[in-house]
Amino acid sequence: MRLEFINRVKPGDVISKSILSNEGRVLLRSGVKLSGSYIKKLTELGVFYVYVQDDRLDDVNVEDERLTELKQITIQSMSGIMKSVNNVNSRELKESLSRVEEMISYVLELGDVNKSLYDIKTFDNYTYIHSLDTCIMTAFLGMTGRYNQWDLKEMVIGAILHDIGKTKISTDILNKGGHLTKEEFEEVKKHTIYGAEILRKNITMPESIIKIVEQHHERVDGKGYPYGLTGNQISRFAKIVCVCDVYDAVSNDRCYRDKFTLNDSYELILSGAGTSFDSEVVARFKDTFSIYPLGCCVRLSNGDEGYVINQNKGFPDRPIIRILYDFRTKKPVPFYEIDLLKNPSIVIEGVV
């Protein structure tokens, strides 16, 4: 499969990774052949890219049907919780969070970041998919920190609930195009406090989870919110969720700004080590996640264009590239591969 920008997808291309709605329904299932009307609708929904089948890249596979099913169930559960957050009872919440734990257990057993992340986001499903991806990234990052199962459980629950306070913010503000006024931005910043209040008032929840919700916008240099905490004043779990939240947020289009490039998103995290983000967490982030997802087409500094087919662990910007055609003539060539780790003079210049 290959990752393709929506404006380059053609009728007849076949979806190779399912697309979920904000309610956890499958909008388009893997294996569906795209028509012109499907492509138009996906564009209207704000889909930026899709995975499509490509026989030349049939060894690149990021779809897992069981994981898609578990994500559906998780989104449906969390959608219900978010919509009735002030009336939810402990039994309902426990059942929903048990589904989150089931999904995370499967993700960690699968052990494949490339299959677990990079879900297709639309304008209407951003909130839930963002919380889902933040949760999954937190699980992988937590595993590298050798936390025990109870710590990991609290971390992922805090991550899936980190934006629960936004249920008390007006959708007119949350979905506003363009810049927020000072007053509107101050209201948005209160979602961390609102979230903590919701959990303390309506739900019996460990304080370690509540601190994630309350502190995930704090920064180690004291320039975050809501309290301007610094260093060790910030929960160790909140420091992990913070990095995952920021990375996923800037990697996606929002109604008020365009997304960052893949490289810029990653560089934002790395450059923030010791100021915005905990240095140790950033170091583990670099060892865990890669910049360029499998199947995406990149342009190399030697003039070649090719597709990412594998990653080199610990070297996020040095994947293995498969060259399929001569970009100058646009004619196919016998496939060959370039391992950027073994070719240090060649770098990726951009995504095509």
- What are the residue ranges in the chain where pLDDT is below 70? 83-90, 118-126, 202, 253-259
pTM: 0.87
Query: Are domains 2-52 and 65-287 of this chain identical in fold?
Result: no
The packing angle between helices 262-271 and 279-288, to 10°, is: 150
Give yes or no for a contact between 177 and 254, defined as CB atoms under 8 angstroms apart.
no
Tokens read off for 222: 């004291």
Question: CA-CA distance, 100 to 289, in Å (whole number)?
Answer: 21
Question: CA-CA distance, 63 to 15, in Å (whole number)?
Answer: 10
pLDDT for the residue numbered 10: 93
CATH class of 65-287: mainly alpha
pLDDT for the residue numbered 44: 84
53 SS3 class: coil
49 SS3 class: strand
Q: What are residue 316's DSSP bridge partners?
A: none
On the 0-12 / 13-18 / 19+ scale of CB atoms within 10 A, 303 is exposed
pLDDT, one tens digit per residue, over 237-290 is 999 999 999 998 888 755 444 567 888 889 999 999 999 999 999 999 999 999
Give yes or no for a contact between 220 and 230, defined as CB atoms under 8 angstroms apart.
yes
Q: What is the H or E stretch that residue 50 is in?
A: strand 49-52
pLDDT for the residue numbered 337: 94
Domain borders along the chain are 2-52, 65-287, 296-351
Give yes or no for a contact between 174 and 166, defined as CB atoms under 8 angstroms apart.
yes
pLDDT, one tens digit per residue, over 82-129 is 766 666 666 777 788 888 888 888 888 887 777 777 666 666 666 778
Among the four given CATH numbers 1.25.40.10, 1.20.1420.30, 3.40.50.1980, 3.90.105.10, the one describing domain 2-52: 3.90.105.10
Question: CA-CA distance, 128 to 236, in Å (whole number)?
Answer: 24
pLDDT for the residue numbered 154: 92
pLDDT for the residue numbered 243: 96
Q: What is the H or E stretch that residue 307 is in?
A: strand 305-310
